[in-house]
Amino acid sequence: MNTVAPTPPELPPPLPEPAREELKLETVLAALADPLRLQIIQKLLLESEDYDHPCGWFGFDRPKSSLTHHFKALREAGLIRQRQYGLERRSRVRDEDLEQRFPGLLALVKSWRSPGA
């Protein structure tokens, strides 16, 4: 019986991101201080169900260039990992890395009561 974990089915490589050890609390907090970005992370945490999501999935009524800006900020701060699937760039929260470095932080985001709801 072979108990080796199955090889993941060829994922596209992640876009450039800081390594786990490079994550800085100041930077992570600054990234989360923006309400839209907080909302992005919260939605991913609450609704993503193990799938990565392109930024259209979020349903924000904002110009695309604004969204690019915020997703990039999140990625560069180390909050999300992004992979390119054809045209789409899908995002997921780096929950393991974040929990390891900043335990409890994501729980706070999860239970955030956003002003808009």
Partner DNA sequence: TGTTAAGTTCGATAAAACTCGTACAACGTC
Partner DNA sequence: GACGTTGTACGAGTTTTATCGAACTTAACA
- Is there binding between residue 54 and DNA (CB under 7 A)? yes
62 binds, among its own copies, DNA, none (CB under 5 to 8 A by kind): DNA
Taking CB under 7 A as the rule, does residue 76 contact DNA?
Answer: no
3-state secondary structure 25-46: HHHHHHHHCCHHHHHHHHHHHH
Judged by CB under 7 A, does residue 63 bind DNA?
yes
Please give the residues from 40 up to 99 whose contact with its own copies meets the rule CB under 8 A. none
Among 30, 46, 107, 108, binds DNA (CB under 7 A): 30
* Site residues for its own copies per CB under 8 A: 24-26, 29-30, 32-35, 38, 102-105, 107-109, 112, 115
